[in-house]
Chain A
Amino acid sequence: MNVIAASEIRGSSGVSDKDLKAALSQWLSTPPRRIDRLIFQALLAAAAIKQHVRRDCGLYLASRHPARPTMIALLEAVCAHHKQPKPFEFVNSVSNAAGFHVAQQLGLDGPNLFIGAGPRVWSQLLGLARTDLADGVVSQALLIVVDEQEGFCVQGVLVEGDGVAAGGFDELVSGVAVERLDLNVTL
């Protein structure tokens, strides 16, 4: 399994969705409308290396949490205020909504999986991607991990070939030029 390209986007918790949209505009001329923070973050990691991505590329996306602002809005509307949720917020809360938008923007129509990111997330994504690469279902696999706690970090790795690759992001991208973007806001 060879790493073709990689990206890493970091930012502080003060980075707004508007900031994310502005950053995304350097790679995408018409980003989708009414999308949430998790979708912006996944799009950033994918768009940064989109010139390397072929159409028959599988997408294997992971996030530690759902988009918290979306979940807060939904939970407070439905459970605290007994309102109907906003349809676009409900639809965005589907975990694979981020994968859908990445696939749509990059023109990918193959496998598109979303998993919860835990301590072994890279080996799990690589395992899933390997099944599709080895069986010839896809010729490339785009792996993206979104993690937002205090600040956020989104990492993307584009791989091909059916050999075994192991390790986390740093091991995978060793020797590869990583497209990096630092969106830290100094308060």
Chain B
Amino acid sequence: MTPVYLQRGALQCALGDTLASASLALSQGVHPQGQAFLLHELQQPRTYLHVAGNAEDFDARMDRLLSETLGHGHSALDDCLLIVASTSLDITELEAQASAQGHFLPDNSTSLDRVAEQLRERWGFADAFTLNTACTSAANGLLYGARLLAGGQFSRAVVIAFETPSALAMQGFGALDLLSPSGDYRPFHPQRDGLVLGETYAAALLALQPGDAPLARLLGGFSACDTTSLTTTREDGSHIDWVMQQALRSADRSASEVALVKLHGTATQANDHAEANGMLSLYGENMPALCVLKPWLGHTLGACGVSETLLLMHALQQATLPGLEYATDASLPLSGEPIALAEDALVLANFFGFGGNNATLVMQCCAAGEPQ
């Protein structure tokens, strides 16, 4: 794959309402405070990680994200593709409508390209579409956005990724018994008890040129569908192993060159088990440094490909990743000490999702430039 730069990014998440503040909080090991909500009928509390900072209108958030990502005085966007990666899209608006009306009519349904088309018209993007592959949506947005640039149709691409605090997501994952009752988000811990959902709004600008202060270089990646089950991947990790290998092949790199693997790490029993097996298949006992980010962000579902990538690459560029408090108990050799990498280190990032979608990105760190 032709390498593509993550030129700029913007992030609003539970750790902070800017990428810099979230990255600083991560490096300092600060954990966000969750808020409780009740599962319907069961009346059991679960935890949700809302975005830090003041409440903001959805359109205003989108515009702020794009302004921060494109930078002041950006040029016209008639050469720029917009990819909207989200599982929630405008669902909170539809939820409010259903709640107010006491029912939901077919005509109340909105088109899946609504947000993308509104942003395209408001901002003048050359083209825009919604990409929805569950929790790999944003990872696929980065991967295919980058590869479409190499095809020459566009010279820039923005991937905007978000997950709003959707009642459907909260209650739906609750109905599947996948939410953590303890609210203690611990991927790969033997006593892990499920995931904690998180709200986020994130955007990344991709281009073939590095720009003034690139966050990372995307060297390759791969995405494929494991048809074993709609909700879990193969327990033996063989599909995950294959996807990681194909991603490395597309980047013309080998597993031994990787300095750090950002695990998907949902903290559900089945998926952590499958990912651990995939890692063991690829590396055996000699693994590179490993990290997880969901304890700090929550599971940001379809947006995690951008939210986690930006947070990871910014934190590595500016300082270090925090060690994990329970590392010695984890089923994979996660680091208990802060992780610092070389300026040009190779990073593998895993993202898996419902619908059998497994995706891996291969990235290279870039030296810190001017602050964003």
Which residue from B117, B140, B168 sits with its C-beta under 8 Å from A113?
A: B140
Given contacts A96-B132, A131-B144, A87 and B224 within 8 Å (CB-CB) = no
A contact residues, range: 35 or more
B175 and A100: CB pair below 8 A? no
Q: Of all chain B residues, which has the CB nearest A124? A: B129
Tell yes or no: B67 within 8 A of A by CB: no
Of A3-11, A44-52, A58-66, A168-176, the one touching chain B: A58-66
CB atoms of A134 and B130 under 8 A apart? no
Contact B225 A90, beta carbon cutoff 8 Å: no
24 example contacts (A-B, Cβ-Cβ < 8 A) are as follows A72-B104, A74-B168, A75-B168, A76-B98, A78-B168, A78-B172, A79-B96, A79-B167, A85-B168, A94-B230, A94-B354, A100-B230, A109-B225, A109-B227, A109-B239, A112-B224, A112-B356, A113-B140, A114-B355, A115-B113, A115-B132, A118-B128, A120-B129, A128-B148
B335 contacts the other chain (CB 8 A): no
Closest residue on chain A to residue B111 by CB atoms: A64
Chain B contacts of A66 at CB under 8 A? 109, 112
Contact with B along A88-110 (1 / 0, CB 8 A): 00110111110111011001111
Name B80-103 residues within 8 Å CB distance of A. Answer: 84, 87, 94-96, 98-99, 101-103
**Does B42 count as interface, using CB distance less than 8 angstroms?**
yes
Q: Evaluate contact between A131 and B147: CB separation under 8 angstroms.
A: yes
Main secondary structure of the interface of B (DSSP, over half): mixed
Asked if residues B130 and A116 are in contact (CB atoms below 8 Å), the reply is yes
A31 → chain B, closest Cβ, in Å? 14
In the assembled complex, which residues on chain A have CB atoms less than 8 Å from the CB atom of B353? 96
Q: A118-B116, A124-B129 are in contact. List 6 more A-B contacts (CB 8 A).
A: A79-B95, A85-B175, A95-B132, A97-B355, A108-B225, A115-B132
Q: In the assembled complex, how far is the CB of residue B305 from the closest CB belonging to chain A, in whole angstroms? A: 13
Least CB distance, A46 to chain B, in whole angstroms:
13
Contact A112 B355 (CB under 8 A): yes
Residues of chain B from 201 to 243 with CB closer than 8 A to chain A in the complex: 222-227, 230-231, 239
Q: Say yes or no: B224 contacts A104, CB within 8 Å.
A: no
B4 is an interface residue with CB less than 8 A from chain A: no
Query: With A and B bound together, what is the CA distance between A121 and B132 in angstroms?
Result: 14
Q: Does A18 count as interface, using CB distance less than 8 angstroms?
A: no
B39 within 8 A of A: yes
Complex alpha-carbon distance, A66 and B116, angstroms: 15
B113:A87 contact, CB within 8 angstroms: no
Tell whether, in the assembled complex, residue A82 and residue B176 are in contact, meaning their CB atoms are under 8 Å apart. Answer: no
In-complex Cβ contact of A115 among B87, B98, B131 (8 A):
B131
**Contacts A78-B168, A120-B127 hold; do A109 and B226 have CB atoms under 8 A apart?**
yes
Decide if B269 is an interface residue (CB 8 Å cutoff): no
Asked whether B151 lies within 8 Å of A127 as measured between CB atoms, the reply is: yes
Q: Which of B39, B94, B227, B250 is A103 in contact with, Cβ under 8 Å? A: B227
**What are the 9 A-B residue pairs with the smallest beta carbon separation, nearest first?**
A116-B112, A118-B113, A116-B130, A112-B225, A96-B355, A116-B113, A90-B172, A79-B98, A104-B227
* B residues in contact with A75, CB < 8 Å: 94-95, 98, 104, 168
How far is the CB of A124 from the nearest CB of chain B, in Å?
A: 5
Instruction: Across the interface, name the chain B residue whose C-beta is closest to A73.
Output: B104
Q: How far is the CA of A90 from the CA of B127 in the complex (A)?
A: 31
**Contact A85–B171 (Cβ < 8 Å):** yes
A127 to B357, CA, bound (A): 20
Number of interface residues of B (CB under 8 A): 64
User: How many Å from the CB of B13 to the closest CB on chain A?
Assistant: 22
Whether B40 lies near A84 (C-beta < 8 A) is yes
Let me know if B77 is at the binding interface, CB within 8 A. no
**A residues near B357, Cβ cutoff 8 Å:** 96, 112
Q: Any chain B CB within 8 A of the CB of A180?
A: no
Given the complex, which residues of B lie within 8 Å of A127, measured CB to CB?
Answer: 148, 151, 153
When the two chains form the complex, which single residue of A59, A79, A83 contacts B225, counting CB atoms closer than 8 Å? A59
A161 at the interface (CB under 8 A from B): no
Q: Which residues, 120 to 170 on B, are CB-close (under 8 Å) to A?
A: 127-134, 140, 144, 147-148, 150-151, 153, 167-168
CA separation between A173 and B105, bound complex, in Å? 35
Q: How far is the CA of A64 from the CA of B114 in the complex (A)?
A: 9
Instruction: Check if A20 is an interface residue, CB within 8 A of chain B.
Output: no
Asked if A130 contacts B151 (CB within 8 A), the reply is yes
Chain B, residues 170-181, CB within 8 Å of chain A (1/0): the string is 011111100000
B1 at the interface (CB under 8 A from A): yes
Bound CA–CA A63/B102 (angstroms): 27
Centre residue among B94, B95, B106, B127 by max chain A CB count within 10 A = B106
Expressed in whole angstroms, the Cα–Cα distance for A84 and B327 within the complex equals 35
Distance between Cα atoms of A78 and B1 in the complex (Å): 44
Q: Please indicate the chain B residues that have their CB under 8 angstroms from the CB of A72 in the complex.
A: 104-106, 109
CA distance A103 to B101 in the complex (A): 38
Most buried by A among B102, B151, B171: B171
Q: Which residues of B contact A135 (CB under 8 A)?
A: 1, 147, 250
* CB <8 Å contact, A110 and B147: no
In this assembly, does A187 line the interface, its C-beta being within 8 Å of a C-beta of chain B? no
